[in-house]
Protein backbone atom coordinates (compact mmCIF):
# COMPACT_ATOMS: atom_id res chain seq x y z
CA UNK A 1 0.00 0.00 0.00
CA UNK A 2 2.74 2.46 0.94
CA UNK A 3 2.87 5.00 3.75
CA UNK A 4 1.40 8.49 3.57
CA UNK A 5 3.05 10.80 6.10
CA UNK A 6 0.82 12.71 8.52
CA UNK A 7 3.65 14.58 10.20
CA UNK A 8 6.89 16.39 9.43
CA UNK A 9 10.09 16.23 11.43
CA UNK A 10 10.63 19.11 13.85
CA UNK A 11 13.53 20.35 11.74
CA UNK A 12 11.53 20.14 8.49
CA UNK A 13 8.68 22.14 10.03
CA UNK A 14 10.99 24.81 11.48
CA UNK A 15 10.04 23.97 15.07
CA UNK A 16 12.44 25.44 17.64
CA UNK A 17 12.29 22.12 19.54
CA UNK A 18 14.52 20.70 16.81
CA UNK A 19 17.23 22.41 18.88
CA UNK A 20 17.82 20.33 22.02
CA UNK A 21 18.69 23.50 23.94
CA UNK A 22 15.03 24.52 23.84
CA UNK A 23 13.87 21.05 24.89
CA UNK A 24 16.12 21.13 27.95
CA UNK A 25 15.00 24.68 28.71
CA UNK A 26 11.38 23.52 28.85
CA UNK A 27 12.21 20.43 30.93
CA UNK A 28 13.92 22.63 33.50
CA UNK A 29 11.52 25.58 33.50
CA UNK A 30 10.08 25.70 37.01
CA UNK A 31 7.01 27.71 35.96
CA UNK A 32 5.87 24.87 33.66
CA UNK A 33 6.13 22.19 36.36
CA UNK A 34 3.57 21.36 39.06
CA UNK A 35 4.02 23.26 42.34
CA UNK A 36 4.68 20.02 44.24
CA UNK A 37 7.20 18.78 41.68
CA UNK A 38 10.53 17.45 42.96
CA UNK A 39 13.47 17.46 40.55
CA UNK A 40 14.61 13.99 39.52
CA UNK A 41 18.07 14.31 41.11
CA UNK A 42 16.44 15.29 44.42
CA UNK A 43 13.86 12.49 44.18
CA UNK A 44 16.47 9.75 43.81
CA UNK A 45 18.55 11.33 46.58
CA UNK A 46 15.51 11.03 48.86
CA UNK A 47 15.62 7.25 48.42
CA UNK A 48 19.36 7.05 49.08
CA UNK A 49 20.64 7.15 45.51
CA UNK A 50 22.74 10.32 45.06
CA UNK A 51 23.96 9.18 41.63
CA UNK A 52 23.16 6.50 39.10
CA UNK A 53 26.28 4.38 38.84
CA UNK A 54 27.04 2.16 35.88
CA UNK A 55 28.16 -1.45 35.60
CA UNK A 56 30.56 -2.71 32.91
CA UNK A 57 29.03 -1.99 29.51
CA UNK A 58 27.04 -4.95 28.17
CA UNK A 59 24.87 -3.41 25.47
CA UNK A 60 26.38 -1.39 22.63
CA UNK A 61 23.50 0.51 21.05
CA UNK A 62 24.07 2.31 17.75
CA UNK A 63 21.80 4.78 16.05
CA UNK A 64 23.17 4.30 12.53
CA UNK A 65 21.04 7.04 11.00
CA UNK A 66 17.96 9.21 11.40
CA UNK A 67 16.79 8.55 7.84
CA UNK A 68 13.40 6.84 7.92
CA UNK A 69 10.54 6.07 5.54
CA UNK A 70 8.08 7.25 8.22
CA UNK A 71 7.55 10.42 10.24
CA UNK A 72 5.73 9.20 13.35
CA UNK A 73 3.96 11.70 15.58
CA UNK A 74 5.57 10.35 18.79
CA UNK A 75 9.14 9.82 17.50
CA UNK A 76 11.78 10.80 20.07
CA UNK A 77 14.50 10.61 17.39
CA UNK A 78 12.78 13.15 15.11
CA UNK A 79 13.54 10.75 12.26
CA UNK A 80 12.11 11.06 8.76
CA UNK A 81 12.69 11.01 5.00
CA UNK A 82 14.41 14.42 5.21
CA UNK A 83 17.31 13.08 7.34
CA UNK A 84 19.39 11.85 4.41
CA UNK A 85 22.68 13.33 5.67
CA UNK A 86 22.44 12.01 9.23
CA UNK A 87 23.84 8.54 8.50
CA UNK A 88 26.72 6.68 10.14
CA UNK A 89 29.62 6.24 7.73
CA UNK A 90 31.43 2.98 7.03
CA UNK A 91 34.66 4.18 8.72
CA UNK A 92 32.70 4.91 11.91
CA UNK A 93 30.95 1.53 11.69
CA UNK A 94 34.39 -0.05 11.37
CA UNK A 95 35.51 1.79 14.52
CA UNK A 96 32.44 0.43 16.29
CA UNK A 97 33.32 -3.10 15.20
CA UNK A 98 36.78 -2.73 16.71
CA UNK A 99 35.22 -1.61 20.02
CA UNK A 100 32.69 -4.46 20.03
CA UNK A 101 35.48 -6.96 19.37
CA UNK A 102 37.82 -5.50 22.00
CA UNK A 103 35.38 -5.15 24.92
CA UNK A 104 34.62 -8.62 26.28
CA UNK A 105 31.72 -7.45 28.46
CA UNK A 106 29.69 -6.37 25.40
CA UNK A 107 27.31 -9.23 24.63
CA UNK A 108 24.62 -7.38 22.66
CA UNK A 109 24.73 -5.00 19.71
CA UNK A 110 21.47 -3.06 19.46
CA UNK A 111 20.97 -1.36 16.07
CA UNK A 112 18.45 1.44 15.76
CA UNK A 113 17.54 4.50 13.69
CA UNK A 114 15.51 5.96 11.90
CA UNK A 115 15.07 2.92 9.79
CA UNK A 116 18.53 1.36 10.22
CA UNK A 117 18.02 -0.77 7.12
CA UNK A 118 18.22 2.42 5.00
CA UNK A 119 21.88 2.89 5.87
CA UNK A 120 23.76 1.59 2.81
CA UNK A 121 26.19 -0.29 5.05
CA UNK A 122 23.53 -1.95 7.22
CA UNK A 123 23.77 -5.49 5.82
CA UNK A 124 27.55 -5.42 5.76
CA UNK A 125 27.63 -4.30 9.39
CA UNK A 126 25.18 -6.97 10.55
CA UNK A 127 27.18 -9.74 8.89
CA UNK A 128 30.41 -8.44 10.45
CA UNK A 129 28.87 -8.29 13.94
CA UNK A 130 27.53 -11.80 13.44
CA UNK A 131 31.11 -13.03 12.90
CA UNK A 132 31.94 -11.74 16.40
CA UNK A 133 29.32 -14.05 17.93
CA UNK A 134 27.40 -11.22 19.60
CA UNK A 135 23.65 -11.03 20.01
CA UNK A 136 22.19 -8.62 17.43
CA UNK A 137 18.99 -6.64 17.97
CA UNK A 138 17.53 -4.67 15.09
CA UNK A 139 14.79 -2.13 15.76
CA UNK A 140 12.73 -2.44 12.61
CA UNK A 141 9.68 -0.27 11.89
CA UNK A 142 8.18 -3.12 9.78
CA UNK A 143 6.97 -0.91 6.93
CA UNK A 144 10.51 -0.62 5.59
CA UNK A 145 10.21 -4.27 4.52
CA UNK A 146 7.27 -3.38 2.26
CA UNK A 147 8.49 0.05 1.16
CA UNK A 148 10.67 -1.01 -1.79
CA UNK A 149 11.45 -4.30 -3.59
CA UNK A 150 15.09 -4.02 -2.50
CA UNK A 151 13.94 -4.61 1.09
CA UNK A 152 11.59 -7.54 0.38
CA UNK A 153 14.30 -10.08 1.27
CA UNK A 154 15.04 -8.54 4.67
CA UNK A 155 13.18 -11.32 6.56
CA UNK A 156 15.47 -13.93 4.98
CA UNK A 157 18.55 -11.80 5.69
CA UNK A 158 17.51 -11.36 9.33
CA UNK A 159 16.91 -15.11 9.70
CA UNK A 160 20.26 -16.05 8.15
CA UNK A 161 22.03 -13.84 10.70
CA UNK A 162 19.79 -14.78 13.65
CA UNK A 163 18.90 -11.11 14.23
CA UNK A 164 16.48 -10.44 17.09
CA UNK A 165 13.77 -8.20 15.62
CA UNK A 166 12.07 -5.57 17.80
CA UNK A 167 9.28 -3.71 16.04
CA UNK A 168 6.89 -0.97 17.08
CA UNK A 169 3.17 -1.57 16.58
CA UNK A 170 1.02 1.00 18.39
CA UNK A 171 -2.11 -1.15 18.34
CA UNK A 172 -3.82 -4.11 16.68
CA UNK A 173 -6.16 -1.86 14.69
CA UNK A 174 -5.54 0.34 11.66
CA UNK A 175 -7.20 3.49 13.00
CA UNK A 176 -5.03 3.89 16.12
CA UNK A 177 -1.84 2.79 14.40
CA UNK A 178 -2.21 5.02 11.34
CA UNK A 179 -3.16 8.02 13.48
CA UNK A 180 0.21 7.83 15.22
CA UNK A 181 2.42 6.60 12.38
CA UNK A 182 0.83 7.59 9.06
CA UNK A 183 -1.83 6.31 6.67
CA UNK A 184 -1.11 2.81 5.41
CA UNK A 185 1.32 1.93 8.19
CA UNK A 186 -0.88 -0.72 9.77
CA UNK A 187 -1.56 -2.59 6.53
CA UNK A 188 2.12 -2.66 5.59
CA UNK A 189 3.11 -3.61 9.15
CA UNK A 190 0.79 -6.62 9.15
CA UNK A 191 2.10 -7.68 5.75
CA UNK A 192 5.68 -7.41 7.03
CA UNK A 193 4.84 -9.42 10.16
CA UNK A 194 3.34 -12.15 7.99
CA UNK A 195 6.54 -12.19 5.91
CA UNK A 196 8.60 -12.51 9.09
CA UNK A 197 6.36 -15.32 10.35
CA UNK A 198 6.82 -17.12 7.04
CA UNK A 199 10.57 -17.51 7.64
CA UNK A 200 10.03 -18.54 11.27
CA UNK A 201 10.13 -15.26 13.20
CA UNK A 202 7.78 -15.24 16.17
CA UNK A 203 7.41 -19.02 15.89
CA UNK A 204 10.79 -20.67 16.54
CA UNK A 205 12.79 -19.79 19.63
CA UNK A 206 15.98 -18.69 17.88
CA UNK A 207 14.20 -16.20 15.60
CA UNK A 208 12.94 -13.72 18.16
CA UNK A 209 10.23 -11.27 17.13
CA UNK A 210 9.11 -8.80 19.78
CA UNK A 211 6.63 -5.96 19.39
CA UNK A 212 6.80 -2.59 21.13
CA UNK A 213 3.76 -0.76 22.47
CA UNK A 214 3.79 2.83 23.61
CA UNK A 215 0.70 4.85 24.58
CA UNK A 216 -0.94 7.04 21.96
CA UNK A 217 -1.47 9.93 24.37
CA UNK A 218 -0.37 11.59 27.61
CA UNK A 219 -0.76 8.58 29.88
CA UNK A 220 1.29 5.66 31.17
CA UNK A 221 1.14 2.22 29.54
CA UNK A 222 -1.03 -0.45 31.10
CA UNK A 223 0.13 -3.85 32.33
CA UNK A 224 2.66 -5.33 29.91
CA UNK A 225 1.42 -8.86 30.60
CA UNK A 226 -2.25 -7.99 29.97
CA UNK A 227 -1.46 -6.03 26.82
CA UNK A 228 0.73 -8.83 25.49
CA UNK A 229 -2.06 -11.38 25.94
CA UNK A 230 -4.55 -9.12 24.16
CA UNK A 231 -2.17 -8.31 21.29
CA UNK A 232 -1.39 -12.00 20.80
CA UNK A 233 -5.06 -12.96 20.80
CA UNK A 234 -6.17 -10.20 18.42
CA UNK A 235 -3.28 -10.43 15.95
CA UNK A 236 -3.61 -14.22 15.72
CA UNK A 237 -7.39 -14.13 15.33
CA UNK A 238 -7.51 -11.28 12.82
CA UNK A 239 -4.33 -11.73 10.79
CA UNK A 240 -2.78 -15.10 11.78
CA UNK A 241 0.27 -13.20 13.09
CA UNK A 242 2.46 -14.55 15.89
CA UNK A 243 5.20 -12.91 17.95
CA UNK A 244 7.16 -13.68 21.11
CA UNK A 245 6.90 -10.76 23.55
CA UNK A 246 5.27 -7.35 23.81
CA UNK A 247 7.48 -4.63 25.29
CA UNK A 248 5.75 -1.62 26.88
CA UNK A 249 7.67 1.64 26.71
CA UNK A 250 6.67 4.91 28.36
CA UNK A 251 6.72 8.00 26.15
CA UNK A 252 9.42 10.34 27.39
CA UNK A 253 8.80 14.11 27.25
CA UNK A 254 11.33 14.85 24.51
CA UNK A 255 11.36 15.70 20.80
CA UNK A 256 8.03 15.20 18.96
CA UNK A 257 6.24 13.84 22.00
CA UNK A 258 7.29 16.93 23.95
CA UNK A 259 5.89 19.03 21.12
CA UNK A 260 2.64 17.04 21.31
CA UNK A 261 2.40 17.61 25.07
CA UNK A 262 2.87 21.35 24.67
CA UNK A 263 0.48 21.67 21.72
CA UNK A 264 -2.27 19.75 23.56
CA UNK A 265 -1.64 21.58 26.86
CA UNK A 266 -0.77 18.28 28.58
CA UNK A 267 2.85 18.96 29.50
CA UNK A 268 2.41 19.97 33.16
CA UNK A 269 -0.08 17.19 33.89
CA UNK A 270 2.10 14.58 32.21
CA UNK A 271 5.19 15.59 34.17
CA UNK A 272 3.10 15.35 37.34
CA UNK A 273 1.89 11.89 36.29
CA UNK A 274 5.46 10.70 35.74
CA UNK A 275 6.77 12.18 38.99
CA UNK A 276 3.87 10.82 41.07
CA UNK A 277 4.43 7.35 39.61
CA UNK A 278 8.15 7.31 40.51
CA UNK A 279 9.14 3.83 41.66
CA UNK A 280 12.54 3.47 43.36
CA UNK A 281 12.49 -0.27 42.64
CA UNK A 282 13.17 0.53 38.97
CA UNK A 283 16.53 2.22 39.61
CA UNK A 284 18.65 -0.93 39.65
CA UNK A 285 17.34 -2.04 36.25
CA UNK A 286 17.72 1.18 34.29
CA UNK A 287 19.16 0.58 30.83
CA UNK A 288 21.61 3.47 31.19
CA UNK A 289 23.53 1.43 33.78
CA UNK A 290 24.81 -1.23 31.36
CA UNK A 291 24.43 0.49 27.98
CA UNK A 292 26.47 2.81 25.80
CA UNK A 293 24.48 4.65 23.15
CA UNK A 294 26.33 5.77 20.01
CA UNK A 295 24.95 8.48 17.73
CA UNK A 296 25.20 8.43 13.93
CA UNK A 297 28.22 10.76 14.15
CA UNK A 298 30.03 8.66 16.77
CA UNK A 299 29.31 10.53 20.00
CA UNK A 300 28.70 8.56 23.20
CA UNK A 301 25.68 8.79 25.51
CA UNK A 302 24.25 6.94 28.50
CA UNK A 303 21.06 6.05 26.65
CA UNK A 304 19.10 6.68 23.48
CA UNK A 305 17.05 9.41 25.17
CA UNK A 306 20.08 11.33 26.41
CA UNK A 307 21.43 11.04 22.88
CA UNK A 308 18.36 12.82 21.51
CA UNK A 309 18.87 15.61 24.05
CA UNK A 310 22.59 15.78 23.20
CA UNK A 311 23.58 14.99 26.79
CA UNK A 312 26.94 13.27 26.27
CA UNK A 313 28.47 10.90 28.80
CA UNK A 314 30.24 12.38 31.82
CA UNK A 315 33.66 11.16 30.74
CA UNK A 316 36.71 12.31 28.81
CA UNK A 317 35.82 9.48 26.44
CA UNK A 318 32.90 11.02 24.53
CA UNK A 319 33.43 9.69 21.01
CA UNK A 320 34.19 6.34 19.39
CA UNK A 321 37.53 7.77 18.22
CA UNK A 322 38.77 7.84 21.84
CA UNK A 323 36.64 5.06 23.33
CA UNK A 324 38.05 4.12 26.73
CA UNK A 325 36.02 1.41 28.43
CA UNK A 326 37.84 1.81 31.76
CA UNK A 327 36.88 5.48 31.95
CA UNK A 328 33.34 4.82 30.78
CA UNK A 329 32.81 2.09 33.37
CA UNK A 330 33.57 4.63 36.13
CA UNK A 331 31.21 7.37 34.99
CA UNK A 332 28.02 8.67 36.61
CA UNK A 333 24.91 8.75 34.45
CA UNK A 334 23.80 12.18 33.24
CA UNK A 335 20.25 12.74 34.50
CA UNK A 336 17.53 15.29 33.86
CA UNK A 337 13.76 15.57 34.23
CA UNK A 338 12.95 13.21 31.34
CA UNK A 339 14.44 10.38 33.43
CA UNK A 340 11.14 10.16 35.34
CA UNK A 341 9.79 8.39 32.25
CA UNK A 342 12.02 5.35 32.84
CA UNK A 343 11.24 5.15 36.57
CA UNK A 344 7.45 5.58 36.49
CA UNK A 345 5.25 2.66 37.48
CA UNK A 346 6.75 -0.66 36.38
CA UNK A 347 9.62 1.22 34.75
CA UNK A 348 10.56 1.51 31.12
CA UNK A 349 13.51 0.68 28.91
CA UNK A 350 14.27 -0.33 25.34
CA UNK A 351 13.49 -3.84 26.62
CA UNK A 352 10.09 -2.96 28.07
CA UNK A 353 9.04 -3.00 31.73
CA UNK A 354 11.78 -3.17 34.37
CA UNK A 355 9.91 -4.89 37.21
Among 141, 353, 342, 352, residue whose Cα is nearest residue 254: 342
In a domain, 4, yes or no: no
**List of residues 6+ apart from 165 with CB closer than 8 A:** 137, 138, 140, 158, 196, 201, 208, 209, 210
Which pLDDT value is given to residue 8? 87
In a domain, 325, yes or no: yes
Report the C-alpha gap between 293 and 121 in whole angstroms. 19
Residue 126 lies in a domain: yes
Tell me whether residue 101 is in a domain: yes
Question: If you ran DSSP here, which 8-state letter would residue 24 be given?
Answer: H
Residue 268 structural domain: 16-343
CB 226 within 8 A of CB 233: no
| Residue 71: other Cβ atoms inside 10 A | 24
What is the pLDDT at residue 5? Answer: 59
Q: What is the average pLDDT across 107-125?
A: 99
151: left (phi over 0), alpha (psi -120 to 50) or beta: alpha
- Confidence label for 248 from pLDDT (cuts 50, 70 and 90): very high
Given a cut of 90, is residue 16 above it in pLDDT? yes
Tell me if 1 is assigned to some domain. Answer: no
Q: Is residue 9 part of a domain?
A: no
* Residue 60 DSSP SS3: strand
Phi, psi of 163 (to 5 degrees): -80, 130
d(CA 260, CA 23): 12
Q: Which of 31-40, 176-185, 215-224, 312-321 has the lowest mean pLDDT?
A: 176-185
Spell out the residues 6+ positions from residue 346 whose beta carbon is closer than 8 angstroms to its own.
Answer: 223, 224, 248, 279, 282, 353, 354, 355
Q: Does residue 355 fall inside a structural domain?
A: no
Overall average pLDDT of the 249-269 stretch = 96
The mean pLDDT value for 273-281 works out to: 98
Query: From residue 187, how far is each of 7, 116, 149, 176 by CA, in Å?
Result: 18, 21, 17, 12
pLDDT category, 182, cuts 50, 70, 90? Answer: confident
Position 205 scores a pLDDT of: 96
According to DSSP, residue 322 is labeled: G
| Average per-residue pLDDT for the chain | 96
Q: Out of 2-11, 56-65, 199-208, which region has the weakest mean confidence (pLDDT)?
A: 2-11
Residue 321 has pLDDT above 80, yes or no: yes
Looking at the domain assignment, is residue 353 inside a domain?
A: no
Domain of 163: which CATH number? Answer: 3.20.20
**Domains held by the chain: number:** 1
ω into 58 cis (within 30 of 0): no
| Helical axes 122-131 vs 90-102, angle rounded to 10° | 20
pLDDT at 110: 99
pLDDT of residue 292: 99
Element of type H or E holding 324: none
**Residue 317 to residue 305: CA distance in whole angstroms:** 19
**Confidence bin at 6 (pLDDT 50/70/90):** low
If you average pLDDT over residues 269-290, what whole number do you get? 98
**DSSP result, 151-204:** GTTHHHHHHHTTPEEEEE---SSHHHHHHHH-BTHHHHHHHHHHHHHHTTTTTS
Q: What is the mean pLDDT of residues 61-75?
A: 95
pLDDT of residue 144: 98
Lowest mean pLDDT across 74-88, 173-187, 242-256, 306-320 = 173-187
Amino acid sequence: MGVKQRSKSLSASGNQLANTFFQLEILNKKELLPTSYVKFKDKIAQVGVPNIDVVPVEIFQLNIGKLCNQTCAHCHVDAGPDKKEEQMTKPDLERCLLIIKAVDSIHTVDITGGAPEMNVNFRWFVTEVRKLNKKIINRCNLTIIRSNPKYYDLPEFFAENKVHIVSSLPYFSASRTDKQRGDGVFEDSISALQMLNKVGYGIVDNLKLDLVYNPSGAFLPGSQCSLENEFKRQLLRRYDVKFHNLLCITNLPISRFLDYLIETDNYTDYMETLANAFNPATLDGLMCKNTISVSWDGNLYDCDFNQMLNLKVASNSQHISNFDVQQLNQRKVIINEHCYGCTAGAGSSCGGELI
